[in-house]
């Protein structure tokens, strides 16, 4: 959910990871099955096997499984798919997406952070389309590398043909980054409704909104534990007077700097908050291991100083011990999500892109 970048790699992926409204349905008919091969696996990637590439162009990110593990919903920026900025698409797992898949956002504005609701017939996502048909402007880099926090983002529910069924938030300011509990009863999201970027939960129907975090800083990209009792999220949490001043000044302009983020874990009511990484750099896109005792995440903390940021997947115990590197790409790996069965992992990567800036989706068998 809104996030990413820190280098050109991230420019079109909005962590913080979407043609006309009610556009005609364009069913995806992918005949060609993805071949199973380990030529896409780097040496030392012992937890991954049978890696399959799903997309083949554009910027594809934040792919999340349906509850029955048969489909994925994801965001893509790709001119060939009439998506000049991120739009939301749905597809079957296990097929090459060389043609435009089913669009499930409106095709207007910019979107982020889609997720299946229980039953797999509806998805939740955030969009700026009510603020205008065009892609909202990207921020200038005069203040360094920053992410935009568009106040026109709201959270919607749509069916798999793209028909909006419900608007879950209608509050002035940023509401986005929604994910759904595996139990199917709660949604967690990030909002500026308090004046800061905090986490909130609500019921699936949008009722009973409760604030989870209240510390100064950008709390976002949250996911539930497998049993639905805990949240893992990234946070910028400024400490020094200089950092606090910079954070507040940028937020007043609808901007945040994502270059310093660590991971935190808490109960879904915000209690028992703990910081579980202190690695430096950007640590983000966390997702619980199926055991609930570990977290997979993306980090650039091992990048060579002064060189190009290099993001790989790492795993750590929820008490912060046992850090382990999972992927060994030389550019970018992020947005991991385990299937609900726990035996597969989907993620975004710059591997196998021929030296371009394209970010594609990959699925692999997970080996503990």
CA distance 328 to 42: 6
pLDDT digits (tens, 9 = 90+) for 342-354: 999 999 999 999 9
Phi and psi torsions of 241, nearest 5°: -55, -40
Report the pLDDT value the prediction gives residue 109, as an integer from 0 to 100. 98
> To the nearest whole percent, how much of the chain has pLDDT over 70?
90
Closest CA to 215 of 156, 161, 262, 171: 262
- Which helix (H) or strand (E) segment is 250 a member of? helix 241-252
CA distance 333 to 360: 10
CA distance 312 to 213: 27
Q: Is the pLDDT of residue 20 over 70?
A: no
Question: CB of 272 within 8 A of CB of 266?
Answer: yes
Q: Is the pLDDT of residue 270 over 90?
A: yes
Query: Which residues, 6+ apart, have CB-to-CB distance to 325 below 8 Å?
Result: 44, 302, 312, 313, 314
Q: Kindly list the domain boundaries of the chain, sorted by start residue.
A: 8-366
Report the pLDDT value the prediction gives residue 143, as an integer from 0 to 100. 85
* pTM recorded for the entire structure: 0.90
pLDDT band at 37 (very low <50, low <70, confident <90, very high): low
pLDDT digits (tens, 9 = 90+) for 288-334: 999 999 999 999 999 987 677 899 999 999 999 999 999 999 999 99
pLDDT digits (tens, 9 = 90+) for 137-179: 999 988 889 999 999 999 999 999 999 999 999 988 999 999 9
Superfamily of domain 8-366: TolB, C-terminal domain (2.120.10.30)
């Amino acid at each position: 959910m809104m996030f990413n970048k820190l280098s050109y790699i991230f420019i079109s992926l909005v962590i913080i990871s979407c043609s006309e409204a009610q556009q005609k349905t364009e069913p995806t008919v992918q005949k060609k099955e993805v071949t199973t091969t380990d030529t896409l696996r780097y040496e030392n990637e012992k937890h991954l096997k049978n890696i399959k590439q799903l997309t083949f162009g554009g910027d594809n990110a934040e792919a999340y499984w349906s509850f029955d593990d048969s489909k994925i919903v994801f965001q893509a920026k790709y001119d060939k798919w009439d998506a000049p900025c991120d739009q939301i698409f749905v597809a079957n797992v296990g097929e090459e997406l060389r043609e435009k898949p089913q669009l499930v956002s409106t095709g207007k504005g910019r979107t982020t952070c889609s997720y299946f609701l229980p039953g797999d017939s509806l998805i939740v996502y955030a969009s700026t389309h009510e603020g205008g048909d065009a892609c909202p402007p990207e921020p200038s880099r005069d203040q360094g590398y920053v992410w935009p926090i568009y106040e026109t983002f709201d959270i919607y529910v749509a069916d798999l043909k793209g028909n909006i069924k419900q608007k879950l938030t209608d509050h002035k300011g940023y509401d986005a980054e929604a994910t759904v509990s595996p139990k199917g009863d709660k949604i967690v999201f990030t909002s500026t409704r308090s004046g800061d970027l905090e986490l909130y939960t609500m019921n699936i129907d949008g009722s009973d909104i409760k604030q989870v975090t209240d510390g100064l800083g950008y709390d976002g990209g949250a996911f539930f534990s497998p049993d639905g009792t805990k949240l893992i999220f990234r946070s910028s949490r400024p400490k020094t007077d200089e950092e606090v001043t910079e954070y507040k000044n940028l937020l007043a302009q609808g901007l945040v700097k994502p270059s310093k983020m660590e991971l935190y874990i808490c109960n879904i009511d915000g209690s028992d908050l703990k910081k579980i990484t202190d690695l430096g750099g950007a640590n983000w896109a966390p997702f619980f291991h199926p055991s609930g005792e570990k977290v997979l995440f993306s980090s650039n903390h091992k990048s060579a100083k002064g060189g190009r940021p290099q993001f790989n997947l790492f795993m750590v115990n929820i008490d912060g011990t046992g850090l382990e590197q999972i992927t060994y790409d030389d550019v970018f790996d992020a947005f991991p999500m385990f299937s609900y069965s726990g035996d597969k992992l989907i993620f975004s990567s710059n591997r196998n892109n021929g030296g371009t800036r394209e970010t594609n989706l990959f699925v692999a068998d997970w080996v503990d």
